[in-house]
Each structure stands twice: as structure tokens, then as C-alpha cells.
Amino acid sequence: MDWYKSVVDKALNLFDVTEDNLPFAMNVIMVEENTYTLRFADSQSYTLTVEDPQSGFQLDVDLVPALEFLGKDRTRMPSKRRKKGNFLVVPKPMKGGHDEDAAWRRPLQLQGWDLWYMKQALRLTKKLLDSQGMNKIQSYYIKTIFYHEAIEQEHDPDFWSRNSLAELFKHIVKRLHQYLETKNIPYFWNVDYNLIGNIDESILDGYAKKLKRFIKILEDPSEYKMAVKYLMSESQFKEYKKKFLKI
């Protein structure tokens, strides 16, 4: 990672310029006569931020190193979705795992699946976690649950297209609740490793109770208006109640 970051630093230094209208030297690039500034945040991946101060445009790009392996992929990827040929692994510390600072893992990509409802259900689940402050459950963990489900539903290839978005969302929320109750989300590539094994049990219990209340609402069609409470911030829900619930 140190070597990789040094390469990124060197590349950015090529864009160092000092302009008359800039108070100090900074990374800038010209695209179709527009000036954009470049800066990065030091994180697990390098997040490169491209900005146009004049228009307010901002684009964040995660730069992640990867190792490419040649040949047929023989991993647990659902057979009907398995891509032939080369595959990648990215560096990612596995908290609580063996040699966690030297760990690599397969990225979970849904783009190639071309399943609209699956992607939307994933986004709703992420929104649920953000709104409820369940920040110990990472996005990768939710993708892992989807992949486990894909394995389980291989006997039913129409499962993801036959069910509505609402039904898929409810199905995944129930699955997440089950994983939280057992305090174990098995790592997709090695099910002996528990992705949430390092999270305090009291936190997982609190998350499970929140989801249990939410599932009760989802199971009652008459409570559909209240379901959004779990997908909004407090201020957003206050505005929603005023405009749509009239309370």
C-alpha cells in the first residue's frame, strides 16, 4: 500500500501548477477549457476528489490496487453468474482475522448481474442502515448476504425478477435480522470467518431489536406509511409527516 500510494502521489505531482488566479500551487487539470482541482484523502483506498469550484461540480473516485489472477475462476460464485477468465482481489484488512493487515479479498460486484430489483433492494438496505445509525454493518457485509442468497436461490433462477422490490427488500431485511440474532455473517469466500465477529454483542442485539420492530411494520400493509420512518433521518421524517401524514 505504501508503494501504491507513492505512485499516486507521483502521478498527482505531475499536475502541480501555480496560476495567477490561485493563491498557492495546487493540483489542477484542464478539461475542455475548464479548470478542475485534484486532491485526495488518505484512506484504505485513495479517494481522488475532482472539483470545479466555479460550478460546484465534485466527483469522488476511489483508487484501489488489485492483484489480477489468470485463468478460470473456481470460487463459490453462483454458477449461472460466474464470469470466466481473470479475476481480481483487493487488499482489505479483516478485523479479528489471521494476519488482518495482510489480508486480500474478492470484491463483490453486482453490476454484471443485470438484476434491477436486486440492486435497488441493496440500496434500500444500505439506506436503512444509514438512517438507523447501524454503522458497524458495512456495505460489504450486505453484499455478502445478497451473494449467500444468490447461492441459496440457484434452484429458482427467476427469484430475483419474479418478486417485487418490496418483497425482496423485506426478504433481505429478514435475512439480516437472522444474521444479527446469530451474531454471524459468514464471509462469502471462507464461511468459517465471521464478518461481524469483532462487533460487541450488545451492539448487535440493539441492531436486531431495531430490525424486529421494522419487520413488524413491513408485515402489516396498513402501516406502510410508517415504514419510511426507518429510511429517513429525523429531520426528513419530520418534514414527511407534515406534508404527507398531516400530523
Q: Where in the chain is the domain with CATH 1.10.1410.40?
A: 113-245
109/152 Cα distance (integer angstroms): 18
Residue range 158-176: average pLDDT?
Answer: 89
191: which 3 cell numbers? Answer: 464461511
Weakest mean pLDDT among 7-21, 73-87, 224-238: 73-87
144/205 Cα distance (integer angstroms): 20
Give the CATH number of domain 113-245: 1.10.1410.40
pLDDT above 50 (res 23): no
Q: Report the largest interatomic distance among the alpha carbons of the chain, rounded to a whole angstrom.
A: 65
What's the one-letter identity of residue 79?
A: S
Confidence of residue 111 (pLDDT cuts 50, 70, 90): very low
Judge whether 132 and 217 are in contact, CB under 8 Å: no
* Between 66 and 129, residue with greater pLDDT: 129
Q: Go through the chain and tell me how many residues it has.
A: 247
Residue 135 is predicted with a pLDDT of 92
72/75 Cα distance (integer angstroms): 9
DSSP label at residue 94: -
Judge whether 117 and 161 are in contact, CB under 8 Å: yes
Top-ranked range on mean pLDDT: pick from 38-52, 81-95, 130-144, 219-233: 130-144
State pLDDT tens for residues 5-15.
888 778 777 66
147/139 Cα distance (integer angstroms): 13
Residue 76 is predicted with a pLDDT of 56
127/201 Cα distance (integer angstroms): 23
Q: What percent of the chain has pLDDT over 70?
A: 78
